[in-house]
Structure 1
């Protein structure tokens, strides 16, 4: 087997490595640092497929490995983020769980039962990734919202809280019912049958790629104007442009 065949899988493992670090940071409420590693993971997730196609070394192993890495970076992490956000927004004092190990130590912590709904994003992501591996149609488009796009939407929420400094935005994001609604919508969009275009360029001319270039241009404008608050707008624009293109 040629050495170049290992390059895409190595990049995929870098995605998994970043996702694993993001999980550790998110569990410890270090959302900004966790989001940084998610961004890195999604970056690697984009380029593993890119190099697999360029080097002509696409494989069944690579497809499975890619989904397993995505399950952590774009499945487990957003579920933890939403769990933490609902816990933060909830007035429920939670149920205290004590450490079961006297040897390893560890402090007790409280679980807000309602916040566990946030982990439905992880379940929906797993279901989507499993379906994606079995669906041979999704080559030039996606059915439903891709897990990386959904992850960007979820992790943008604490970044908006941290950096936008807007009372109106904070009130919306830290509303339990809004977070539950986002969770439900997220789970639906991940597994919907709505066709969304893929950012895969077979050629780089404007003809045939008008919708992709339009999306990229609008995304840059939104990011400049709205900063992290642009991410939900970008995801919404992505869905709208996909529907209009059909």
Structure 2
């Protein structure tokens, strides 16, 4: 029995397990623990592919398992979080029970992206559209920003259901948009070939240092904006 070939799939299933636990914490409004388990799941998601390449045991089964696990951890969980945020943003006397369920549009957008990613041969070294793990981190950081931010403006913005609906729709769009995003992989240690990655890493550290949880969505936005600017320069 070749144990090596099963290691990447076990790691993938652990990613799925983290997603299942995160769902339970979201149902209990414990967004910090949900955020922690999604981060752990994303960490495992990186290493299943790493070990598959290391042991040379990549397989179609592993590819499908990876997408199915991501669908829960980076699709259903953020959709559930947005559902919870929309529900909390409503007036207690509100009779509009439909709006919170629109948060699951994020799960639908994630599902479409993951299915498309499996058949899109253009996304081997970089991404087209925002990856589901990055989108999940963006959405799961929002309730933490609400909880820990001292800014009344930030609180008012993220407590507004129409703002949350716009974020929901934009989230589903940006995951499937035909926007090339630069690769975060550093293939060698020369500054010239990794200028963009180093700039992004530096900005990410600064944003986290200055803004804490608010830095997470700002990092994702910075990643998209840097990619758009980089695409403009490449065209020129």
TM-score range, shorter chain: over 0.9
Runs of at least 5 residues in structure 1 that lack an aligned partner in the other structure: 96-110
C-alpha separation in 2, matches of 1:32 and 1:14: 19
DSSP 3-state at the match of 2:192: coil
- Mapping of 1:190-201 within 5 angstroms? 190-201=175-186
C-alpha separation in 2, matches of 1:224 and 1:217: 11
C-alpha separation in 2, matches of 1:52 and 1:210: 28
- Mapping of 1:219-234 within 5 angstroms? 219-234=204-219
Q: Deviations over 1:43-81 (max 9, x none)?
A: 111111122222222211111111000000000000000
RMSD over aligned Cα, in angstroms? 1.5
Q: Which residue of 2 aligns with 1:115?
A: 100
Q: Which residue of 2 aligns with 1:50?
A: 50
Runs of at least 5 residues in structure 2 that lack an aligned partner in the other structure: 232-236
Q: 2:113 aligns with which of 128, 135, 160?
A: 128
Instruction: Indicate if the aligned counterparts of 1:71 and 1:129 stay in contact, CA closer than 8 A.
Output: yes
How far has the Cα of 1:113 moved from its partner? 1.1
Q: Which residue of 1 aligns with 2:137?
A: 152
- Mapping of 1:20-59 within 5 angstroms? 20-59=20-59
- Mapping of 1:153-168 within 5 angstroms? 153-168=138-153
How far has the Cα of 1:92 moved from its partner? 5.9
Q: Deviations over 1:157-176 (max 9, x none)?
A: 10111222322211110011
Q: Which residue of 2 aligns with 1:217?
A: 202
User: Is residue 131 of structure 2 the alignment partner of residue 137 of structure 1?
Assistant: no
Q: 2:173 aligns with which of 188, 207, 221?
A: 188
Length, aligned pairs only: 231
Moved >6 Å (runs of 4+): none
Instruction: Indicate if the aligned counterparts of 1:197 and 1:242 stay in contact, CA closer than 8 A.
Output: yes
TM-score by length of 1: 0.89
DSSP 3-state at the match of 2:20: helix
Name which of structure 1's ranges 68-77 and 161-170 shifts more when overlaid on structure 2. Answer: 161-170
Higher helix fraction (1 or 2)? 2
